[in-house]
Chains A and B, each alone.
Chain A
Amino acid sequence: MKLLLVEDDREGAAYVSRALREAGHAVDHAALGRDGLMLAAGETYDVIVLDRMLPQLDGLAILRTIRASGVLTPVLLLTALGGIDDRVEGLEAGGDDYLVKPFAMAELLARVSALARRPPTQVTQTVLRVADLEMNLLKRTVTRAGQRLELQPREFQLLEYLMRHADRVVTRTMLLENVWDFHFDPKTNIVETHISRLRGKVDRGQPNELIHTVRGAGYCIREPS
């Protein structure tokens, strides 16, 4: 993917750029808000990673400007401000996701790939498929190899989120935020226990496992290779 990183901290930017390039992305870096704004408006990117606090032109101001000029590129906001109001403010300004510094690089990579828009046909999809696992979003049913699976509502939501991001890593924090709407550390292995239950229903007794644990990063649902 082609990414734009707008970040004034030289060392941090170098570190993030390197990690993104190692993950196979092409990265343009702008250290100043003004340059970031010009690049964001002029080039086509898959995802923009925008630091919220920049000298001269504030990150939120840039975000509002590019949104006002009709640029719909997904934006991941990075910030040292961890307050809840700050997050809401960032999302209201047109951000698509919000990551508080300091973050694990795996978290950033997972969120960047989660943000990249999939082909538009999938938006209207009513059935999600990964190998022989099938989720019908209208009937709210799930089958594996034609066998009906009985899922709790929360397990259904969890599986839906994983399947919508199939082949991509989703982190524990992304699941907490998107499935439970928990924007804090619940201090208990909520995600792990739910995933383990979901695995019990989806993968137990099957020749191939679909739900994988990605060490140090999160989880991923994908077709067996």
Chain B
Amino acid sequence: MALFAVSVVVLGAVVFLIAHGAVEEQLEARIRSEVSALQSEARLSGLHAVLEEIGERTGGPGQLEYGVENPAGALVAGRLSAPGRKAGWATVPLRMRGGEVEPIRTHIVPLADGYRLLVGDELERVEEVDGAILQAFGSILLITLLLGAIGGYLLSRDLAGRIEAIARTAGAIIEGDLGQRIGHRAQGDDLDRLSATLNLMLDRIATLMDSLRQVSNDVAHDLRTPLTRLRQRLELAQTVEGEAERLGLVRMAIEDSDGLLETFSALLRIAQIEGGARRAGFRPINLKGLVTTVVDAYAPSAEDNGQSLTLAEPGAISLDGDPELLTQMIANLLANALAHAGAGARIAVNLQARPDAVAITVIDDGPGIPAVDRERVFDRFFRLEQSRTSAGNGLGLSLVRAIARLHGGEVLLYDAAPGLKVEILLPAG
């Protein structure tokens, strides 16, 4: 506001100086041209013609003021006189017909034989213009200050209100109500856009909080059972009589704690992968070699289960990724197939380069997954009824999905009628 007023004042001063200079310039130019006209008249027609001319012009309204002094300094024509003043520009007082004395901007030039010519104009004309300019700027300044004050007040009252609304929302969120959002107009200014961005951020935080809450619930709920079992075993080991039996219970307790630790590290691993922190470790991978290694590793176990595990001979496929995680992803799928497809099942692994993606499929002819559960199997700790009794922590497919998504891919489940088809699509490198 103050800045605005100062700039109006500065602008006024600049305009004033320029206008003042221009008007003065104009006034002097008029005098100068009149002087040179009279000078040439004196040269051509003699002094008397100049005197005559001045006599005619003096006293008319809007006319310049004139004067001719003889060598003694006495006025011989006109009214303007500046005895003793040197030739050049001067400001000379002149008593006007009304009796008042006016300052006259005067040009004094020598004529022949010691005569001097004086031509001038009332400085009042310049002052009139100056006054007009000053008055105009004074009014402008006043209006500016007034409007600025009113506008600023209204603006800051609006802004303060909106910021207050943001602060209120933030306060409510701090109090624990994550559902609060900042109100804003759809097509608004910077503040509206800021509010919209803040709301998006809050949505993201709410999603993360939800998933965190979900994980904590899962952990609390799903770890209670194995912890209870562990405690019971240790309690029993404390009271049991036989040494051999005691050692057996202790061994089982150690196995229980290993299972719990395994569950924790799987959870940590999923969290780490979902956080996307490992993307930095991506490098080109020979996917065919990687899949072959994993299939070979599981082949003897499948054989022992009476299952057939085959890998359709794929062409060379490479993509950018994390070899360790991709190995684990495929290992998890095979471990799942071996564990759940049942004895005698046929398990076929396929690796295909499609135009826009690399597809890894694992198809078995086991019992499959009911359609209603196909999305839920990706949830942490979710286990199908039929597999509740077998080993496993219900985190395998969560991890598979996390790894696929880290690589920009997706995991899809299909009914292989009979059996299950798991398809992993990874964007082609």
Interface residues, chain A, with chain B CB atoms under 8 Å away: 82-85, 88, 100, 102, 154, 180-190, 193-194, 197, 216
Q: Does chain A have a CB within 8 A of B327? A: yes
- Evaluate contact between B277 and A180: CB separation under 8 angstroms: no
Contact of A154 among B265, B272, B296, B303 (CB under 8 A): B296
The residue in A102, A180, A187 that gathers the most chain B C-beta atoms within 10 A of its C-beta is A187
**Could you give, for residues 260-275 of chain B, a 1 whenever the CB lies within 8 Å of some chain A CB and a 0 otherwise?**
0110010011001000
Contact of B297 among A82, A100, A185, A186 (CB under 8 A): A186
Q: Does chain A have a CB within 8 A of B301? A: yes
- Report 5 cross-chain contacts, Cβ distance below 8 Å, ordered by A residue: A82-B269, A85-B277, A185-B262, A187-B332, A188-B339
Q: Does chain A have a CB within 8 A of B321? A: no
C-alpha gap A56/B331 in the complex (Å): 40
- Evaluate contact between A84 and B262: CB separation under 8 angstroms: no
In the complex, number of A-B residue pairs with CB atoms less than 8 Å apart: 62
C-alpha gap A84/B297 in the complex (Å): 21
Residues of chain B lying within 8 A (CB to CB) of residue A193: 300-301, 303-304
- Evaluate contact between A181 and B301: CB separation under 8 angstroms: no
- Evaluate contact between A184 and B396: CB separation under 8 angstroms: no
| Chain B, Cβ-Cβ closest to A81 | B268
Known contacts A82-B268, A83-B272, A183-B324; A190 and B301 CB within 8 A of each other: yes
- Evaluate contact between B327 and A189: CB separation under 8 angstroms: no
Residues of chain B lying within 8 A (CB to CB) of residue A102: 261
Besides A184-B324, A187-B339, 16 other A-B contacts (C-beta < 8 A)? A82-B269, A84-B281, A85-B278, A100-B265, A180-B293, A180-B297, A182-B328, A186-B297, A186-B331, A186-B335, A187-B331, A187-B335, A187-B391, A188-B298, A188-B301, A193-B304
**B339 → chain A closest CB, angstroms:** 7
**B24 → chain A closest CB, angstroms:** 81
B 220-250 contacts with A by CB, 8 A? none
Residues of chain A lying within 8 A (CB to CB) of residue B300: 190, 193-194, 197
By secondary structure, the A interface counts as loop
| Chain B, Cβ-Cβ closest to A103 | B261
C-alpha gap A197/B296 in the complex (Å): 13
- Evaluate contact between A154 and B297: CB separation under 8 angstroms: yes
Q: Does chain A have a CB within 8 A of B367? A: no
- Evaluate contact between A188 and B261: CB separation under 8 angstroms: no
Known contacts A85-B281, A102-B261, A154-B296; A182 and B301 CB within 8 A of each other: no
The residue in B261, B272, B331, B334 that gathers the most chain A C-beta atoms within 10 A of its C-beta is B331
Known contacts A154-B297, A183-B324; A82 and B265 CB within 8 A of each other: yes
Known contacts A181-B327, A182-B327; A189 and B265 CB within 8 A of each other: no
Residues of chain B lying within 8 A (CB to CB) of residue A180: 293, 297
| Chain A, Cβ-Cβ closest to B391 | A187
C-alpha gap A188/B335 in the complex (Å): 6
Known contacts A187-B392, A188-B339; A182 and B331 CB within 8 A of each other: yes
C-alpha gap A182/B293 in the complex (Å): 10
**A176 → chain B closest CB, angstroms:** 9
Residues of chain A lying within 8 A (CB to CB) of residue B262: 185
**B335 → chain A closest CB, angstroms:** 4
C-alpha gap A85/B331 in the complex (Å): 20
**A189 → chain B closest CB, angstroms:** 6
**B289 → chain A closest CB, angstroms:** 11
- Evaluate contact between A84 and B301: CB separation under 8 angstroms: no
Q: Does chain A have a CB within 8 A of B68? A: no
Residues of chain B lying within 8 A (CB to CB) of residue A187: 331-332, 335, 339, 391-392, 396
**B84 → chain A closest CB, angstroms:** 98
Q: Does chain A have a CB within 8 A of B118? A: no
**B340 → chain A closest CB, angstroms:** 11
Residues of chain B lying within 8 A (CB to CB) of residue A194: 300
**A15 → chain B closest CB, angstroms:** 15
C-alpha gap A86/B413 in the complex (Å): 33
Residues of chain B lying within 8 A (CB to CB) of residue A82: 265, 268-269
C-alpha gap A188/B304 in the complex (Å): 11
Known contacts A82-B265, A193-B304; A188 and B327 CB within 8 A of each other: no
**B217 → chain A closest CB, angstroms:** 23
Top 8 nearest A-B pairs by Cβ distance? A187-B335, A193-B300, A184-B328, A193-B301, A188-B335, A188-B301, A186-B331, A82-B265
- Evaluate contact between B324 and A84: CB separation under 8 angstroms: yes
Q: Does chain A have a CB within 8 A of B338? A: yes
Residues of chain A lying within 8 A (CB to CB) of residue B303: 193
Residues of chain A lying within 8 A (CB to CB) of residue B334: 188
C-alpha gap A102/B338 in the complex (Å): 29
Residues of chain B lying within 8 A (CB to CB) of residue A184: 324, 328, 331
C-alpha gap A197/B301 in the complex (Å): 10
| Chain B, Cβ-Cβ closest to A192 | B301
The residue in B269, B300, B331, B335 that gathers the most chain A C-beta atoms within 10 A of its C-beta is B300
Residues of chain B lying within 8 A (CB to CB) of residue A182: 297, 327-328, 331
**B269 → chain A closest CB, angstroms:** 8
Contact of B298 among A88, A100, A190, A216 (CB under 8 A): A190
C-alpha gap A137/B272 in the complex (Å): 40
